[in-house]
Amino acid sequence: MNVKIRTEKLTVRFGNNEALKGVDLDVCKNSITGFMGPAGSGKSTLISLINRMIDFEDGVRIEGGLSIDGEDILGTSVDVVGLRRRVGTVFAVPLPLPRSIFENIAYGPRLKGINKKSDLDDIVEESLKKAVLWSEVCDRLHVSALKLSGGQQQRLCLARTLALRPEIILLDEPCSGLDPISTAKIEEALNELKKDYTIILVSNNTKQIARACDFAAFFYMGTLVEFDQTEKIFTNPRVKQTEDYIQGKFG
Amino acid sequence: MSSKTAVLKERIIKQVLTVFAFSSILFLFLIFAFILVEGLPLFYKAGVNSIIFGMKWAPTKGFFGIFPMIVSSFLVTFGALIIGAPLGLGCAVYLAEYAGKRQKMFLKPALELLAGIPSVVYGFLGVLYIVPFIRNFVGGSGFSLLATSIVLGVMILPTVISISYDALMSVPRSYREGALAMGSTKWQTTWRVVIPSGKSGILASCILGMGRAVGETMAVIMVAGNALKIPGSVLDPLRTLTSNIALELSYASGDHRMGLFSTGVVLLSIIMVLNYFANVVIRRKVIK
Amino acid sequence: MRVNPRFTDALVRHFLNLQAYFTVGLLVVIVFIIFIKGISNCSLSFMLTYPEDMGRHGGIFPAIMGTVFLAALSIVFATPLGLGTAIYLTEYTRESRLTTIIRFGVESLAGIPSIIYGLFGFIFFVIKLGMGWSLLSGALTMTIMILPTIIRTSEEAIKAVPRNLRIVSHSLGATKWETTVKVVLPSAAPGILTGIMLSIGRAVGETAAVIFTMGSSLRLPASLMDSGRTMAVHFYILAREGISMEKAYATALVLVVSILAINILAYYTMNRVIAKYS
């Protein structure tokens, strides 16, 4: 098994509140790993550690280790900006920048210093195709991104993340506000993308995890309750709590 | 760009912005330092009492009494408040509670434009219309406490209106709805619920309006008559602290100039006290 | 006797309505008087020719240019300072004792009357720094005077930019400065512009702080170190010294119309921002 992200006894506290309690987890390269669990279970906190967006929160204390390709990413000397270019994030609500579709996608590459029109054209086209959005917007790339529908906006955000050419893609409940058709399109895109990327998909929707993920992790109250191949988790969970959650008895 | 230079760039930018942010403090310090350095020595030389409570201002002969000007500054400030505050508060209440959306769209900017009219224009119109009106129909020369109060009363309107309007608007909607639901009329709601809730903001607007009035210069010079004594009635001319400075600064030198800076020290102190009170009043509301 | 509350309500409504329109009426009357009395002496040639005989005859071209120079210079100095302060307060620091001190400084500067600025500019720039009565002394004094307006309006405009936009920008690998320049400032631009325009209006209408720092020379300032006269100062001198009421009204017309235009433009810009975010 080819480990991309590894956590070791990872504990996070917000004040007196423990958001993560000693989590040990290995995320495999070129796979989709699903994080599930009820609200407040710590899955989103883990995501915000991997892209270091947790830096924007106050009063956080972190113990334990978190590494990508064996390199620690929690230290103060870590190049956070560089890290965020390696780890792309798609948020729960579609958040297009108030610019054109083209400029939204070119935003990341431009920051990296890519300014040549032809290079940007290529990146934009490639990213939109991978996010299964190209055919819908190819004739109006310079229209404001805010004019797109919710589902289109979310795929635009995925394309924008892909344009960074990251190694890891984090999706934090990306389909929570979307209709089934848009959700299916996102899942379709993810299935293609796992060949080249390591993907983590956070979702409240256990069915989506079952459909889309190779591995699944169940979190509850900050603890990693169970982590295994999706098939095993959904057919033969080791822990009673996991089974109850999957069957919709709580959460 | 490598990440190391990026980090360095960020650090430099932050340093520069910090310096910028401190420029306001620096300027405030410089203003105080220079006014005090120029103005305080005379307090030692001539004595605090003979300046602040002195009745005679003849700086070239060694008399630096500014008591009449202090009194006059307070008189015009209260005069302005008496004229400006009720009118301003009425406007603010109307805007916040009664005006419809479209009416507001027109009234609010129109009232704010009053703040844009330069003070020299107010003074000019005061001289040409208010002063003769007082002379012809009330009495005296027209250049008077009354004329000054009227002009300043109009000039503080924008301050009073905009700050008390904000105070009224920040009263939660639920207060109004609660009162209206219990069968109060609009005015009962406004008078018994909204205005008491917004009273600290309203008070602050009046204090800041006073700050505006006590600091106003050019309009006052033009309509006040600039006489060097405490006015005996509202029809008498007077000279405020600000006009004293502006009238004589361009030709004063030596102790005379220092006397003007001493006037500035007193003016600055009054302003700081007023601003302090306005701040206390506003902060009390925030804590509550 | 108990008065019917509905009757009181209607009475108060009309009374307050009257007050509001009376106040607006004041503005209308002021503008109307200036317009009627000034228009006959105000022409293009009045604006484009030099004054003669202390302004008794001729036009106000140097005063218009003096106003433009003063306003432009103060904006050029104050915008980076003010915007930088606003960015520092909103993006680069958390609320702390330090920000309280900075805010105190800004608030205090805003409350200081213009004559004190005049005194300070006179003793500091004109005398101590030896700049004399000059465009530069005037502009530096005005810079400090308009700084609080620019800081406050910029800060409010920047605060109104949704936090999510910043999060997204950071998640795409932008540094704080890149986020500020590429995402925050463009969204806040109209609000910042409003502050700048209000400041221009302030510089154009100011007299007390300008007359003691920039002086009142009637010549067109040829360099930063030359004295000059703004329209407001010219108008004050014409009116105060009784040089010419006709010319004073005409100058007032140009002055008031430019300030109203700037303020209306500022208000219009601000409304576009409000429409954008609500």
- Between residues 178 and 207 of chain B, which touch chain C (CB distance below 8 Å)? 184-188
Single-letter residue type at C77: F
B14–chain A nearest CA distance, Å: 16
* Structural domains of chain B, count: 1
pLDDT, mean of residues B13-34:
96
- The backbone torsions φ and ψ at residue A43, rounded to the nearest 5 degrees and listed phi first, read -65, -40
Kindly state whether B2 is in contact with chain A, defined as any CB-CB distance less than 8 angstroms: no
Residues from chain A that touch C170, judged by Cβ atoms under 8 A, are 53, 56, 84
A111 contacts C178? CB cut-off 8 A: yes
Task: List, in sequence order, the alpha helices (H) in chain A.
Answer: 43-50, 80-86, 101-111, 117-130, 134-137, 150-162, 180-193, 206-212, 230-235, 240-246
A53 contacts C171? CB cut-off 8 A: yes
A82 contacts C173? CB cut-off 8 A: yes
Give me the pLDDT at residue C273, please: 63
Confidence category of residue B55, pLDDT binned at 50, 70, 90: very high
Mutation target to probe the B interface, by most B beta carbons within 10 A, among C22, C91, C120, C234 is C120
Residues from chain C that touch B95, judged by Cβ atoms under 8 A, are 20
CB-CB contact of C21 with B110 (8 Å): no
Distance CA A88, CA C183 (A): 18
Single-letter residue type at B281: V
Question: What ranges do the domains of chain C cover?
Answer: 44-277
- Flag whether pLDDT at A251 surpasses 60: no
The domain that holds B230 is classified in CATH as 1.10.3720.10
A84 contacts C173? CB cut-off 8 A: yes
C173 contacts A85? CB cut-off 8 A: yes
**DSSP bridge partners of C70:** none
Q: How far separated are the first and last CA of chain B, in Å rounded?
A: 50
Does some domain include residue B271? yes
B139–chain C nearest CA distance, Å: 23
Distance CA A187, CA C269 (A): 43
**DSSP bridge partners of A14:** A17, A60
Give me the pLDDT at residue B3, please: 67
Give me the pLDDT at residue C276, please: 58
- Flag whether pLDDT at B287 surpasses 80: no
Query: Domain A3-246 has what CATH class?
Result: alpha beta
Report the neighbours of C using a cutoff of 3 or more CB pairs below 8 angstroms. A, B
Calculate what percentage of chain B has a pLDDT beyond 70: 97
**DSSP bridge partners of A95:** none
Kindly state whether B8 is in contact with chain A, defined as any CB-CB distance less than 8 angstroms: no
Mutation target to probe the C interface, by most C beta carbons within 10 A, among A52, A99, A105, A107 is A107
Query: Domain C44-277 has what CATH class?
Result: mainly alpha
What is the domain extent for residue B185? 57-287
Distance CA C23, CA A93 (A): 47
Give me the pLDDT at residue A56, please: 86
- Work out whether the CA dihedral C109, C112, C114, C115 comes out positive or negative: negative
Give me the pLDDT at residue C278, please: 46
Structure-token pair, residue A196: 């080249």
Residues from chain C that touch B85, judged by Cβ atoms under 8 A, are none
Residues from chain B that touch C22, judged by Cβ atoms under 8 A, are 87
Nearest to C133 by CA among C4, C226, C14, C269: C226
Nearest to C231 by CA among C204, C211, C262: C204
Report the neighbours of B using a cutoff of 3 or more CB pairs below 8 angstroms. A, C
For chain C, which ranges sit under pLDDT 50? 278
- Flag whether pLDDT at B249 surpasses 70: yes
- Flag whether pLDDT at B248 surpasses 50: yes
Position of tokens 């004073």? C248
Distance CA A179, CA A100 (A): 24
- In this structure, the strands spanning A60-68 and A3-14 are antiparallel
Distance CA C138, CA B73 (A): 27
Does some domain include residue B24? no
**Residue B108: partners with Cβ closer than 8 Å, 6 or more residues away:** B95, B165
Confidence category of residue B203, pLDDT binned at 50, 70, 90: very high
Question: What ranges do the domains of chain A cover?
Answer: 3-246
Does some domain include residue B19? no
